[in-house]
Amino acid sequence: MTDDDRLFLITGATGRTGGGTIDLLLRRGHRVRAMVHREDARSRSLAEAGAEVVVSDFHDLDGVTAALRGVTGAYLCHPILPGLIEATVYFAQAATEAGVRSVVNMSQISARREAGSNAAQEHWLCERLLDRTDLLTTHLRPTFFAEWLKMWWELRGGEGYLRLPFGEGRHAPIAAADQAHVIAAVLLDPEPHDRAVYTLHGPVELNHHDIARAMSGALGIPVHYEPISVEEFASAMTERGLPAHLVQHLSNVAVDYRNGVFACTNDNVEKVGHRVPLSVEQFVTENRPDFDTSGPNFVPALG
């Protein structure tokens, strides 16, 4: 255990990056407060692991203020839902009032002023807002998560399919567990990373044909990438009942992806998080049971 008495607030605590960060901080002996939207089995497991759990909402100023009281550093992670700008304004004001020292902000690689995605443009605006505070601020801009493969994967007739609108674009899938190491490292030592913007990538840049081959090798079955149009992708999401805000975002970032916005790789995970990021093969192998059935969002073949 450490005699360090700092307290870290993790929002999005039941999500992949938030939960992974909590686990790392607790295992290293640090005090953690987990902000959740509701009490359920996931929040109870966080409490059992040793986190202080608070129930609050990003859009409740008093609730966010209470969650930030006594906190040294915080991880800000808002879901892809409307209200990001309001939530960031509330967070920035509450953190300033509470004397919070630093924030790690989960943004996205497509964040920029001219973004076609409303969510991506809002992330860019929120980065600029946080940069204007006195908080030690670090922005993380990950490429597509490796977890995306589990969500959009189809198992059909003993073979795997990725029906996605990414053309021949490329990226290096980044696992949430690897991002958690970066988040924890910056929270624990924020000064060298103040005002930094880190893009986060996996170790190898691939197109989706390459990704399908890597998955096939790990799973031992044929896996196929079938490029589809953005229109078919958007229609399938709408038919599945995904929120319009998310459909608009993913449709536009599909175009960004084709245009190279999600491409490249670097050593930020290793340099900042002190961890070699997982390859696609390693990620699929570690998550093998998740590929025994189709993911919830797969795009079914037409006809």
pLDDT of residue 4: 81
- 1-10, 94-103, 251-260, range with the lowest pLDDT: 1-10
Q: pLDDT at residue 3 above 70?
A: no
pLDDT of the residue at 26: 98
Statement: residue 1 has pLDDT above 70: no
Per residue in 12-59, pLDDT (tens digit) is 999 999 999 999 999 999 999 999 999 999 999 999 999 999 999 999
pLDDT band at 242 (very low <50, low <70, confident <90, very high): very high
pLDDT of 262 over the 70 cut:
yes
Mean confidence (pLDDT) of the chain: 97
Q: Percentage of the chain with pLDDT > 70?
A: 99
Q: Is the pLDDT of residue 2 over 60?
A: no
At residue 302, the pLDDT reads 79
* CB contact set of 10 (below 8 Å; sequence gap of 6+): 18, 21, 22, 25, 32, 33, 34, 35, 51, 74, 75
DSSP string, 99-166: T--EEEEE--TT-STT-SSHHHHHHHHHHHHHHTSSSEEEEEEE-SBTTHHHHHEEEETTEEEEEES-
User: pLDDT tens digits for 104-137?
Assistant: 999 999 999 999 999 999 999 999 999 999 999 9
pLDDT reading at 139 higher than 70: yes
Region class of 167: left (phi > 0), else alpha (psi between -120 and 50), else beta? left
- pLDDT tier at 303 (50, 70, 90 boundaries)? low
Residue with tokens 């007739």: 157
The pTM for the full model equals 0.96
72-87 average pLDDT score: 97
Give the whole-number percent of the chain exceeding pLDDT 90.
Answer: 98
pLDDT of 281: 98
Specify the range with the lowest mean pLDDT, choosing from 2-16, 70-84, 207-221: 2-16
The kind and range of the H/E element at 21 are helix 16-27
Cβ-in-10-Å burial (0-12, 13-18, 19+) of 27 comes to: exposed
154-184 pLDDT per residue, tens: 999 999 999 999 999 999 999 999 999 999 9
Q: Work out the average pLDDT over 96-100.
A: 97
Dump strand ranges (E) for the chain.
7-10, 31-36, 52-55, 73-76, 102-106, 136-142, 153-156, 159-164, 170-171, 196-200, 206-207, 223-227
